[in-house]
Chain A
Amino acid sequence: MSYHLRMREVVKDMSKLKCYIELELRDKGRLIQKRKFASKTYVKQGLMCIQMLMSQRSTISLTDVSGTPRTNFFTDDGTNYRANGAYGDLTKGIVIGTSDTPYAYEQYKLQNVINHGSSGGQMLYGVQTIDAPQLITGGYRLVLSRVFTNSSGASITVKEIGLYCMFYAAAGPNYFTIMQAREVITPTAVANGQSLTVRYIFTVSST
């Protein structure tokens, strides 16, 4: 059999690793508002992190959320890519902010992150929960959830959300936060005493 030089693109129904974002606004536990939408995109470094772990090349340079370039990652370390932030921990997991600066793929942090606390402009960061994979129709999903509670005394409007993961490199203090994704959302006002739950829902599906 002879083959002819050709380039052909086979367009089929593709399933990808998809991501949706869910927001729940609650007032003293009572659901006020809930919406779900498709997440827009990764930032470039999100793909670079996956490439680094797939290639095991430690020389890749990534900019951490402080703006410092990092390299010499211990790519064979099991702690890489963790997002299991503890209560009050902004270094890993879902984070929120107040900036509506448009998305740009070169971004390496939220543009104006909301810090943890109960002072003015702060919100209490709950534990980052990550549910075990769940069977759904035609596939599986992975849900990351975090509750942000406003005890600051005044309303705070959330305009951006992101996903931070931690990686291990040679330079001290060894663990660095790299942003994987950033989203500018429809502004969501969280009044004092209210809470906002943010969920990243990853899915793979064959349908």
Chain B
Amino acid sequence: MPLELKYDIELELRDKDGKLISKRIEKGHTWVKWMIYVLYIQLAQTSLTVTKTSGSSTSQGASGYNLSVASNYGDGTYGVVVGTSDLAYDIEQYSLNSQIAHGNASGQLLYGNTSVDDVAPMTNGFRFFASRVFTNSSGASITVKEVGLYVRNLIMLCRDVLSVPVEVQNLQSLTVRYVISFTYA
């Protein structure tokens, strides 16, 4: 098994009482090019021009925040993020195509904090989770079609268009869990 850092995406839909309605796993498609850029910057301790999630190009140097995804409640600038676009994946992308904003207004979801669990064993490998709960208090249903992972320095590491969009009805919550792993056999 080649040296591969891979991710899968777990999606859990729950009702207003926390009862699990559905759960499924999507195989992660791929990291975007900025993941390689971030690794290069850290390994080489140098700077490189990157495109931030805002769309602006800037020189990014080595930083403790180039891989940081553990974000606070309500902060949609980094961590696990969700959106409504099904624009096809492209390795050059630097942001979700239509990110859902934090809040309880129309079209918004409440962003919980992004938590990162410890590394734990799995069959023939190890994994850790980066998870976030998104709660719909907007008054109407919202369909999540894309998910992504942003770092604190506002760089996107990956974006996935869900094979099956998830409709999150009012008062329901969606947990998006990145399962980042490697296998040794």
B104 close to chain A: CB less than 8 A: no
- What does the 1/0 interface line of B60-74 toward A look like (CB < 8 Å)? 011111111110000
Given B6, B91, B163, which contacts A10 in the complex, CB threshold below 8 Å? Answer: B163
- 12 A-B residue pairs with Cβ-Cβ distance under 8 Å, sorted by A, are A7-B24, A20-B2, A42-B5, A47-B180, A56-B70, A82-B44, A103-B184, A105-B126, A138-B91, A142-B36, A142-B39, A204-B30
Which 3 A-B pairs rank lowest in CB-CB distance, beginning with the nearest?
Answer: A15-B30, A55-B116, A76-B64
Cα of A29 to Cα of B63 in the assembled complex, Å: 38
Q: A82 touching B43 by the CB < 8 A rule?
A: yes
Q: A204 touching B130 by the CB < 8 A rule?
A: no
Chain A-chain B contacts (Cβ-Cβ < 8 Å), number: 194
A101 close to chain B: CB less than 8 A: no
Q: A206 touching B30 by the CB < 8 A rule?
A: yes
Q: B67 touching A54 by the CB < 8 A rule?
A: yes
A108 to chain B, nearest CB (A): 14
Q: A74 touching B64 by the CB < 8 A rule?
A: yes
- What does the 1/0 interface line of A12-34 toward B look like (CB < 8 Å)? 10111111100000000000000
Q: B36 touching A202 by the CB < 8 A rule?
A: yes
Which partner residue on chain B sits nearest A38 by CB separation? B2
Which residues of chain A are near B32, meaning CB under 8 Å? Answer: 204
Known contacts A47-B181, A53-B68, A76-B65, A81 near B27 by CB under 8 Å: no
- What does the 1/0 interface line of B17-28 toward A look like (CB < 8 Å)? 000111111111
Cα of A18 to Cα of B26 in the assembled complex, Å: 19
Q: B64 touching A80 by the CB < 8 A rule?
A: yes
Which partner residue on chain B sits nearest A139 by CB separation? B91
Q: B13 touching A3 by the CB < 8 A rule?
A: yes
Q: A11 touching B183 by the CB < 8 A rule?
A: no
Q: B33 touching A140 by the CB < 8 A rule?
A: yes
Number of interface residues of B (CB under 8 A): 59
Q: B4 touching A142 by the CB < 8 A rule?
A: no
Which of B3, B43, B65, B163 has its CB near the most chain A CB atoms (within 10 A)?
Answer: B3
Q: A17 touching B116 by the CB < 8 A rule?
A: no
Q: B6 touching A17 by the CB < 8 A rule?
A: yes
Cα of A105 to Cα of B5 in the assembled complex, Å: 15
Known contacts A17-B31, A141-B36, A142-B39, A204 near B91 by CB under 8 Å: yes
Cα of A205 to Cα of B70 in the assembled complex, Å: 26
Among residues 106 to 158 in chain B, which have CB atoms less than 8 Å away from a CB atom of chain A?
Answer: 116, 118-119, 126-128, 130
B6 to chain A, nearest CB (A): 4
Cα of A84 to Cα of B128 in the assembled complex, Å: 27
Which residues of chain B are near A82, meaning CB under 8 Å? Answer: 42-45, 62
Which residues of chain A are near B44, meaning CB under 8 Å? Answer: 82-84, 130
Among residues 55 to 104 in chain B, which have CB atoms less than 8 Å away from a CB atom of chain A?
Answer: 61-70, 89-91
Among residues 87 to 105 in chain A, which have CB atoms less than 8 Å away from a CB atom of chain B?
Answer: 103, 105
Cα of A165 to Cα of B44 in the assembled complex, Å: 10
Q: B3 touching A204 by the CB < 8 A rule?
A: no
Which residues of chain A are near B130, meaning CB under 8 Å? Answer: 54
Q: A41-B1, A78-B63 are in contact. List 11 more A-B contacts (CB 8 A).
A: A9-B27, A14-B28, A15-B31, A50-B67, A77-B64, A81-B67, A84-B43, A84-B44, A140-B91, A203-B36, A205-B30
Cα of A71 to Cα of B66 in the assembled complex, Å: 20
Q: B4 touching A56 by the CB < 8 A rule?
A: no
B171 close to chain A: CB less than 8 A: no
